[in-house]
Amino acid sequence: MADAAPCAAALNYGIDIGGTKIELVACDAALEVRHRRRIATPQGDYAGFLAALEALVADADAELGSAGAAVGIALPGVRDRRSGLQLSANVPSLTGRNVAADLQARLRRPLFFGNDLQCFALSEAHGGAAEGYPSMFGAILGTGAGGGYCLHGRLVTGFNSLAGEWGHWSVPAHLVQRHGLAILDCACGLRGCVERYVSGSGLVALYRHFGGEAAEAGEVFARADAGDARAQQALAAHLDLLGHSLAALVLALDPHVIVLGGGLSQHAPLYEVLPAAVAAHLFNGVQVPPIVPPRFGDAGGARGAALLALP
């Protein structure tokens, strides 16, 4: 259900599509959210997915009196720039489908498409934790690892719209050797990708590698606090790997601020230890930029998608 009363002002919609939920927000010209609704993501049913989005938009139109409002849509994964076909690990039913064309045929209004992780960064650059910084990087640490880069408030997407996919850089050999790590396969088809180690699920995988067993990252943090040596070893390796990865971002892009997102961004102690872990992988004279939590949390993707549709 909506969490705010209808607004007569001109609105545009943002839709964030995730592996477990789809969220629609309606924003006014000042980027204030006037309407919000979440539904479960239909998994394994592409026709059901299209129907769910069509119904979500129709319901917002009816409730807000905004028929024909422009819609920004944050899609998970990568869209082939030649064929338009989607590749999505989080929502497999989208893979091999021309999602943009199919939604355009159903919704019949201006649609603007972006990557879900890049939309998180865009949202945080406009009124979020990175407001006022000349450049920012939004680094997601959730089920996977990815992000987006904004320069003077504008999203930098790149030739393949892949800018910010730091999670698919390779873990360096010296850290594999230091921590005695296995080279893990990644869903993208490559091996040894950073996200297999530094994401929330990566932390769980590290804990298992060192002999522990946990269902999610929060358990690893709790067990480390309780004195579990394996959990502490996993956290030390995770911090080293994450520090190296963010240091590489600093060297490549030199952002003025890094905003963390995803589940691990909610772990407050991380912000105390991460700057030193990044600095350990930088040469003398290079300063670590501020590393901060997000302002909009898991609502940032939908708000960033709405930004795509602003006139």
Read off the pLDDT of each residue in 260-272 and give the average, rounded to a whole number.
Answer: 94
* Percent share of the chain, pLDDT over 90: 76
The pLDDT of residue 97 is above 60: yes
Q: What is the pTM of this model?
A: 0.89
Summarize pLDDT for 230-244 with one digit per residue, the tens: 999 999 999 999 999
176-217, pLDDT tens digit by residue?
999 999 999 998 889 999 999 999 999 999 999 999 999 999
Q: What is the mean pLDDT of residues 4-19?
A: 72
Higher pLDDT, 86 or 3: 86
Q: What is the pLDDT of residue 2?
A: 37
pLDDT-derived band of residue 9, with 50, 70 and 90 as boundaries?
A: low
Mean pLDDT of 13-30: 90
What the block records as the tokens of 121 is 């960064």
Tokens in use for 14?
């943002």
Positive or negative torsion for Cα 73, 74, 79, 82: positive
- The pLDDT mean for the chain works out to 91
Q: What is the pLDDT of residues 108-166, one digit of tens each?
A: 999 999 998 999 999 999 999 999 999 999 999 988 899 999 999 999 999 988 899 99
The pLDDT of residue 149: 97
Least confident of 27-41, 144-158, 273-287: 27-41
User: Is residue 277 over pLDDT 80?
Assistant: yes
